[in-house]
Each structure stands twice: as structure tokens, then as C-alpha cells.
Structure 1
């Protein structure tokens, strides 16, 4: 099966879920993660603001803030396949972080600090820390392969992040988060496609490999 074919099938499966089911499944998935050792031992959480076609990690994001963990959200760079993460201010209410960005996706507003992997501040904050990245996708395989929307945002960013983490002694764990209907036995992949360390859905949370 080709990537375009799998994207079509996976999107159709998600479209069949009701609003109630999406909310319920998102809550169940978040509960699995919040009870995990990975969450309790992570210092920094890279999350995202879900669209209507994505499982929602909002409960994870809120819990990270309440426990004083460093929390960051992505924002795309217009006209490119690049994106960067921005720090969520501890002193602000969760709902106030976001503004509507490209394709109607919620993104951090101008009050959130840019968190470039190449920056000195990143090295200081992340040195020898444990970073967990909650990664959305159109489909995932049980082996951790991810299928995105085809624009390369996460693949490009994660390569930068992993390189920067190596330089400052940080550990990075990638968690592919999806509805169980998006999980497949196999997903077509290329050498540059990021591979997850964990898969999280409303049915389970498991380590890959």
C-alpha cells in the first residue's frame, strides 16, 4: 500500500469517529500515559494542540504544567517545511497560549518563547534532561514507523532535536499518539522518516522494539 492510499484509509477511519468517541478515546490514552514511568520521569514535554482529526493530548499538557515540567508546543514556519517549538509560560492559563495558525491549527502566540534546538538556552535547559515528544500522525505501525501528512515538518524537526540532544547529553523519547484505528501492522517508510520509541492510543501504551 502506498503512502497516499494509507493516508486516505486512515483519515476515513478517524472521520467515522464521533466527537464523543474522540474525546473519550483521547482521555483514555492520556490516562495511560499519565500513569507511566515515562511521564513521571520526564523533565520536558513537547506536546501539540490537536486538530479535529487528531487524538488530543491536552490532559497530558495540562498535567505537565501542573507538575512544573517544561512544556512546549510547535509552530510552523510559513512557506517552508520547517517548524519550531515554543515554551508554554507557567504563569499563564493554558487556553491563553494559542492563536490560530496555518490550516486553522492552534499554535503558540507571540508571548511564548522560541525554543530553538541550536540555541545556547536549549543546551542549558536540556543538558542531561529527559525529553518526551508527543508526536501526532496520520498512521503508525506497531513497530514505531510514522506516516505524517507528507510535508515533513516532524521528520525535519526531530532530526534537529535529536542532534541537539546528543550534544548536551539529553535523552529523547518519541511517543507516537493516535487513535487505535490509525494503528497498522506496517506503514511504508523511507530512511529519513522518524521512528517512535513508544506508541500511545486509547487501547494501550507500549514500547517499540
Structure 2
């Protein structure tokens, strides 16, 4: 199964990386409008990696309104922090992704979160996702009761069902632009 997953990851990273700039820009504006219009009070978002859908402007707006939370990887788990200033409260983390600096922001309880935005390499029509294979999100999401929204580009939707395992957490909705 791992071989198949790795093959799928490789294929969809290539697809995602080839999305033209103008197509990305249009999708990212649509993502901002749609997600912001959902009006959740406390959103656990993510700092996008290169070529993931860039929701940085949404994160800025949410931080300004005290509605933004971001994850930090600690050992094999995600911890969440309240973010009010993206310019001063983030540092490069373990996987070269911007993460909360624990000395500059407040750790939060996952029970306070009203929605989680989850990136992936690929999604399927049954709301399954395939990430980078480390399982951080699956371990974190298993106990949450709030909506879990997969966020990405339309090109990241597989026509085929993804190979899933018992520990994989299904998303509530996909928001693909």
C-alpha cells in the first residue's frame, strides 16, 4: 500500500506543481472569499508549503480578527497556537514550514476550534485525503468534533478512490478551487 501511496503522491505533486500562476491566483482569491464567508469563529489553518494553495491572505485577515490558530509539530503530534500577528509570531519549523513560536504566542486547546482547514497532496470524491505520509493530521483530527475541510485546487481531486487505512481520518467537506 505504501508503494501505491507514494506513487500517487509523486503523480499529484507533479500535477500540483504544474498549475499555472494565473490559475493559482484565481483559485486562491476564490478560496479566500469562500472560506471567509463561512464565518467560523476560530479557524485552525495552515502555513502553505510551496505550491500548496496559498491562503496566506486569509490567514492575515483571520489573525487580525483574532480568529486564527496554526499547528506546530512537536515530536509526533500537532499542538495548536493562537496567532494574532503573522509577522512576529512564526518561525521556520521542523519541515521548513512556518510554525508558531511558543515563546511569542498562546497555546490553545483543540476544543475551542470551530473549523479545521487541512491541506493535502490529493483528495478523492469520498472526502479522503493523502498528505505527506507522516500522519500528523490523522492523529490530531481523530478526536475533534468540529468540521474538517480539505482545501486545495480542483486539479488535486483524483478520479480514483485513494487507498485508505483504518487510521485515516475522513474530511467533512472538500473546498477545491
Q: How does the TM-score come out when normalised to structure 1?
A: 0.75
Alignment partner of 1:44 is 2:42? yes
Alignment partner of 1:200 is 2:175? yes
Alignment partner of 1:83 is 2:78? yes
Alignment partner of 1:59 is 2:57? yes
Distance 2:92 2:22 in 1: 23
1 or 2, which has the higher helix percentage?
Answer: 1
Contact 1:72 1:85 survives alignment (8 Å): yes
Structure 2 counterpart of 1:111, from 104, 108, 117: 104
Distance 1:94 1:69 in 2: 11
Deviations 1:22-64 (A, max 9, x none): 33322222222223xxx22x22100011011211222332333
- Counting matched residue pairs gives 173
- How big is the alpha-carbon RMSD for the aligned residues of Structure 1 and Structure 2? 2.0
List aligned pairs for 1:129-144, cutoff 5 A.
Answer: 131-144=114-127
Q: Secondary structure at the match of 1:11?
A: helix
Deviations 1:75-129 (A, max 9, x none): 111xx3211111113xxx3322211112211111230111244xxxx5xxx3xxx
Q: Secondary structure at the match of 1:64?
A: helix
Distance 1:157 1:86 in 2: 14
Alignment partner of 1:73 is 2:66? no
Aligned to 2:8: 6
Distance 2:22 2:79 in 1: 31
Contact 1:45 1:69 survives alignment (8 Å): no
Distance 2:24 2:98 in 1: 18
Distance 1:139 1:101 in 2: 23
Q: How does the TM-score come out when normalised to structure 2?
A: 0.87
Unaligned runs of 5+ in 2: none
Contact 2:15 2:155 survives alignment (8 Å): yes
Contact 1:135 1:174 survives alignment (8 Å): yes
- My pick for the range that moved more, 140-149 or 11-20, is 11-20
Distance 1:94 1:188 in 2: 36
